[in-house]
């Protein structure tokens, strides 16, 4: 198959490709002393502390190009990394982007990918300052490193929660997981019968939450304006129950979680019912929500409720109490990484 608009990567070569992909790369941060084009970037953080995180995204494991627009993939690759920076109560400032690509991809496809990368950089005020480019045998490999800054000793770990602290979550949960189920279902139908067009009517919200997640910059800004420093914080990439267990374990505490307080969007509930799934199970065990889970002292309660985007879902208890969920029917179950035990019945 030949495509009139297809430029082979080989026609540019590695250095030509890097120049091409970074030709319009902007610098926004005063701390960016030296960006793409040398052996390394130079960043001056002016007395702040530096936070660094890295993530590897592999085709077939973390994403499926059959239903992921490549521009969205570029956007999401940036978002999932800067979400980890916000989860430290830090502000992302820089990323590096490394890619492994085969000749399956055209320069135009990579342009779209970088379009998504630059869109995220602009929206979150982050500079792309470097990366690496290599050939891969088949699949698309993406590795992003994100760097952020935080005022000295203001970073927030998973281990700082205290007994009695309120357990809070931003936004709503479970949507991305249900979105994935729809996309997987449509892919299967398409593979069995390519003449059938995907039917995602009405599922824009859940599908959008999977394909185009956002990082919770606004929540970190809200906490700052209210002078609330969470005692522990992390982002939700693996599902609420797994993340709650991380905070409990690392803070050496138990918790009480109220099912009725877990925020789930109407769209997610309706979509989950189509798969005969319990929406709470999707929130607990789904994943890829990129919301923030954090604990605050009870004395901050009146400030936290000022944000409509934050839900108080429970509180921290003594480790001996264990991590527990109280269901809408007023039953108590231990929280497990797969959800709670009642779900398995
Ligand atoms: P080196 O030989 O030191 O690895 P490269 O030729 O790979 O240098 O990279 C040259 C410059 O381009 C460096 O600043 C590097 O960070 C940057 N770079 C390489 N690949 C990418 C990419 N995919 N996206 C953004 N910047 C890149
Ligand atoms: Mg290199």
DSSP string, 120-145: HHHHTT-EEEEEEEEE-SSS-EEEEE
> What pLDDT is recorded for position 194?
83
Cβ of 37 below 6 Å from ligand 1 = yes
Cβ of 221 below 6 Å from ligand 1 = no
Q: Please give the sequence-ordered ranges of beta strands (E in DSSP) within the chain, or none if there are none.
A: 32-34, 42-43, 49-58, 91-101, 127-135, 141-150, 166-170, 232-235, 253-258, 292-296, 310-318, 323-326, 332-336, 339-340
Cβ of 99 below 6 Å from ligand 1 = yes
> What pLDDT is recorded for position 3?
64
CA of 24 to the centre of ligand 1 (A): 15
Cβ of 131 below 6 Å from ligand 1 = yes
Rounded alpha-carbon distances, angstroms, from residue 301 to 265, 295, 345: 23, 11, 36
Cβ of 257 below 6 Å from ligand 1 = no
CA of 38 to the centre of ligand 1 (A): 8
Cα separation, 291 vs 237, whole angstroms: 8
192 Cβ partners below 8 Å, 6+ apart? none
* Per-run averaged pLDDT (10 residues), the chain, 345 residues: 79 95 96 94 93 96 94 98 98 98 95 98 98 95 98 95 98 97 91 81 92 98 97 96 97 98 97 95 95 98 98 98 97 82 42
Phi, psi of 169 (to 5 degrees): -140, 145
* Ligand (nearest to CA of 39): 1
- Quick one: which atom of ligand 1 is closest to the CA of 15? 6
């Amino acid at each position: 198959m030949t495509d009139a608009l297809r430029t082979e990567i080989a026609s540019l070569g590695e250095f030509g490709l890097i120049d091409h992909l970074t030709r319009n790369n902007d610098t926004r941060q005063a701390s960016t002393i030296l960006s793409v084009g040398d052996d390394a970037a130079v960043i001056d953080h002016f007395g702040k502390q530096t936070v660094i995180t890295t993530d590897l995204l592999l085709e077939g494991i973390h994403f499926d190009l059959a239903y992921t627009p490549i521009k969205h993939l570029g956007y999401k690759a940036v978002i999932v990394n800067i979400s980890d920076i916000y989860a430290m109560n830090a502000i992302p400032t820089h990323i590096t982007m490394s890619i492994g690509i085969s000749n399956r991809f055209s320069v135009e496809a990579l342009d779209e990918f970088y379009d998504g990368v630059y869109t995220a950089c602009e929206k979150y005020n982050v500079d792309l300052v470097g990366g690496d480019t290599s050939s891969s045998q088949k699949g698309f490999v993406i590795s992003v490193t994100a760097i952020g800054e935080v005022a000295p000793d203001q970073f927030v770990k998973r281990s700082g929660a205290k007994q009695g602290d309120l357990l809070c979550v931003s936004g709503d949960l479970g949507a991305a997981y249900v979105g994935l189920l729809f996309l997987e279902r449509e892919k299967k139908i398409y593979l069995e019968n390519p003449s059938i067009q995907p039917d995602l009517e009405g599922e824009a919200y859940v599908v959008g939450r999977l394909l185009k997640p956002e990082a919770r910059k606004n929540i970190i800004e809200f906490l700052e304006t209210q002078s609330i420093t969470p005692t522990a914080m992390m982002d939700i990439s693996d599902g609420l129950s797994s993340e709650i267990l991380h905070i409990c374990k690392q803070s050496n505490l138990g918790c009480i979680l109220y099912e009725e307080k877990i925020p789930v969007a109407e769209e997610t509930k309706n979509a989950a019912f189509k798969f005969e799934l319990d929406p709470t199970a999707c929130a607990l065990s789904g994943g890829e929500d990129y919301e923030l889970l954090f604990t605050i002292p009870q004395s901050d309660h009146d400030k936290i409720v000022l944000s409509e985007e934050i839900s108080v879902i429970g509180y921290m208890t003594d480790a001996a109490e264990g991590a527990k969920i109280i269901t809408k029917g007023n039953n108590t179950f231990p929280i497990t990484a797969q959800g709670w035990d009642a779900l398995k019945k």
